[in-house]
């Protein structure tokens, strides 16, 4: 892997780690063409994703009738930045942000720890009954919609314990802990880790704890990052259950506030509401920018390259 020696910032072919195409191939015109065709394709896709979002992001600055005008205007005719202040003055964003963070941290912990461990058990420890459990967990993905009312009722009056969980973050956290898709993701990922590593470590005298902390966790960084992104961004936008559980309390996260203000007779003009929504997206873009870099990071550390 001679290419890897050049460690400058990633804008030269010579920095390319091995992949479908490698450095030496990219020197030939045929593959250069292929590379730049792919680049062009991605570029078009990225524009299709980016431009509408930019357009909608600035549309909150327009007056309401301009916002819905047909044909639409590209940029606002006048930029009224005062509107941002007006919106912030009406809504205590800091409070909601704090609540969102509490909600997210709890959900994230459940997503990673509970689902991760379950995935590990199903993939590696395989106790008796694994196949049966996998089937059940998988099937629960199929029936998501029909259990809403009974679930809500059991949060209001928890079976056995008979406590009312409405008005607390706990139900949302617990729901994150029963995410079948995440479990399957973890399971599939752990399945991909070659057994030899674990065997080798065991023979070297590693305990179960040692294996988990020194081999599994470092190897799992990419999947943990991916689940983290899903968890944070999913929780940030999730409004339905948080609304049922936390609506009308001091614990409302941002998503619930947005939902409440959209359906009520709130005193926000439509363009103000649009601005509020776009403001709420900014932290997620930042978070994503930070974490998505980590997924690249996962490549370098993966022991899979041997």
Partner 1 sequence: MAKTAQAKQYKLKKNRNLSSVVKRSIPGWLIILPSLALFVFIVWRPIAIGIRYSFFSLRGFEPVEFVGLKNFKDVLTDTNFIQTLQNTLQYVLWSMIIGFPLPFVCAVMMNEMVHMKGYFKITTYLPVVVPAIATSLIWKMVYMDGPGGLLNMVLYYFGVEPMQWLSNKNIAILLIIISTTWNGFGGTLILYLGALQGVNQELYEAARLDGAGFFGRICHVMIPHMRGMLLLMAIRQIIGIFNITEQPLAMTGGGPSGASMSLGLTNYFYAFKYGQYEKSLALGVIVFCILAILTYVYFKLDKRVNE
Partner 2 sequence: MKFQKVITTGLTVVMLTAGLAGCGKKQGTADGKITISIGDWPDETQTETLETYNNLLEEFEKKYPNIKITPDTYRYDTKTFTMKASAKQLPTMYIAYFTELNKIIKAGHAADITDIMDSYGMTEAINPKLLDLVKDDGGRIYGIPTSAYAKGLAINKEMFREAGLVNEDGSIMIPDTYSEMAEYAGKVKEKTGKAGFVMCTTDNCGGWNFLNIAWSFGVEFMKQNSDGKWEATFDTENAVAALQFVKDLKWKYNALPDNSVIDQQESHKLFGTNQAAMTFEGPSDDYSRKYGMEVSNLLEARMPAGEYGRYAQMGGGIRMFAPDSTPEQIDACFKWLDFIGAGKEFDEVSVTNKEKNYQTILSEGGMVLDREAFPVWINEERVAKEREIAAKYTNIDPKDFESYYNFEDVILKPEEPVACQQLYSVLDGCIQAVITDEKADCKEVIKNACHDFQVNHLDKES
The least CB distance from residue 278 to partner 2, in Å, is 17
- Contact letters (x/-) for partner 1, 94-113, by CB under 8 A? --------------------
CA-based nearest residue to 170, from 190, 156, 149, 150: 156
Angle (CA) 137 284 41, round 5°: 85
Candidate segments 74-82, 84-92, 100-108, 123-131, binder of partner 1 by CB under 8 A? 123-131
What's the Cα-to-Cα distance from 230 to each of 24, 190, 219, rounded to whole Å? Answer: 36, 18, 19
Nearer to partner 2, 10 or 267 (CB): 267
Selected from 32, 56, 86, 98, the binder of partner 1 by CB under 8 A is 56
**In the complex, minimum distance from the CB of residue 269 to partner 1, in angstroms, rounded to a whole number:** 14
Minimum CB separation of residue 213 from partner 1 in Å reads: 14
The span of 76-84, 85-93, 94-102, 296-304 binding partner 1 (CB under 8 A) equals 296-304
DSSP-derived 3-state class of residue 220: coil
Say whether residue 264 binds partner 1 (CB under 8 A). Answer: no
Interface residues for partner 2 in 180-209 (CB under 8 A)? 207-209
* Residues of this chain, 253-272, that bind partner 2 according to CB under 8 A: 260-261, 263-270
- Residue 138 as a binder of partner 1 (CB under 8 A): the answer is yes
Neighbours of 194 (CB within 10 A): 12
Shortest CB 98 distance to partner 1, Å: 20
Is residue 76 within the footprint of partner 1 (CB under 8 A)?
A: no
Q: Per-residue DSSP letters for 77-111?
A: SS--THHHHHHHHHS-HHHHHHHHHHHHHHHHHII
Please tell me whether residue 188 adopts helix, strand or coil conformation. Answer: helix
Examine residue 209 and tell whether it contacts partner 1 (CB under 8 A). Answer: no
Position among 58, 158, 206, 281 found at the interface with partner 2 (CB under 8 A): 158
Q: Is 58 in the site for partner 1 (CB under 8 A)?
A: no
For the chain, how many residues are written? 306
User: Which is closer to partner 1, CB of 30 or CB of 250?
Assistant: 30
Contact 90, 268 (CB under 8 A): yes
- Of 176, 279, 277, 282, the C-alpha closest to 230 is 176
The per-residue DSSP string of 118-154 comes to: HHHIIIII--TTHHHHHHHHHHHTTTTGGGHHHHHHH
Q: How many helices (H) and strands (E) does the chain have?
A: 16, 0
The per-residue b/e assignment along 5-21, b for 16 or more CB within 10 angstroms, e otherwise, is eeeeeeeebeebeeeee
Among 133, 170, 201, 277, binds partner 2 (CB under 8 A): 170
Of residues 58 through 77, those in contact with partner 2 by CB under 8 A are: 63-65, 67-70
Which SS3 state, helix, strand or coil, does residue 222 take?
helix
Q: Which does 244 bind (CB under 5 to 8 A by kind): partner 2, partner 1, none?
A: partner 2
> Which one of partner 2, partner 1, none is in contact with 45 (Cβ closer than 5 to 8 A by kind)?
partner 1
DSSP string, 6-23: --S-S-SGGGPPSSSS-T
Q: Which residues here bind partner 2, judged by CB under 8 A?
A: 63-65, 67-70, 90-92, 113-114, 117, 148-149, 152-153, 155-156, 158, 161, 163-171, 173-174, 207-209, 212, 240, 243-244, 247-248, 260-261, 263-270
């Amino acid at each position: 892997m001679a290419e890897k020696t050049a460690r400058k910032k990633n804008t030269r072919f010579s920095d390319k780690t091995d992949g479908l195409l490698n450095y030496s191939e990219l020197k030939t015109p045929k593959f250069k063409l292929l590379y730049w065709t792919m680049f062009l394709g991605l570029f078009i896709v990225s524009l299709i994703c980016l431009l509408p979002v930019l357009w909608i992001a600035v549309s909150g600055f327009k007056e309401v009738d301009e916002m819905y005008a047909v044909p639409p205007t590209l940029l606002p005719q006048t930029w009224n930045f005062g509107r941002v202040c007006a919106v912030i003055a009406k809504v205590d964003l800091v409070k909601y942000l704090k609540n969102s963070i509490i909600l997210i941290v709890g959900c994230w912990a459940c997503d990673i720890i509970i689902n991760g461990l379950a995935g590990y058990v199903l993939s590696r420890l395989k106790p008796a009954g694994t196949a049966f459990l996998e089937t059940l967990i998988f099937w629960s993905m199929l029936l998501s919609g029909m259990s809403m009312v009974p679930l809500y009722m059991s949060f209001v009056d928890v079976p056995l314990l008979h406590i009312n969980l409405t008005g607390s973050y706990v139900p949302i956290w617990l729901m994150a802990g029963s995410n079948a898709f995440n479990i399957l993701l973890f399971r599939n990922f752990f399945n991909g880790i070659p057994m030899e590593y674990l065997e080798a470590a065991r023979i070297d005298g590693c305990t179960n704890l040692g294996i988990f902390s020194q081999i599994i966790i470092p190897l799992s960084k990419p999947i943990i990052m991916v689940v983290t992104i899903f968890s944070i961004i999913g929780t940030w936008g999730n409004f339905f259950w948080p609304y049922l559980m936390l609506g009308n309390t001091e614990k409302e996260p941002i998503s619930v506030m947005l939902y409440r203000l959209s359906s009520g007779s709130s005193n926000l003009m439509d363009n103000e509401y649009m601005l509020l929504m776009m403001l709420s997206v900014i932290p997620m873009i930042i978070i994503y920018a930070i974490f998505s870099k980590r997924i690249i990071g996962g490549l370098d550390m993966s022991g899979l390259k041997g």
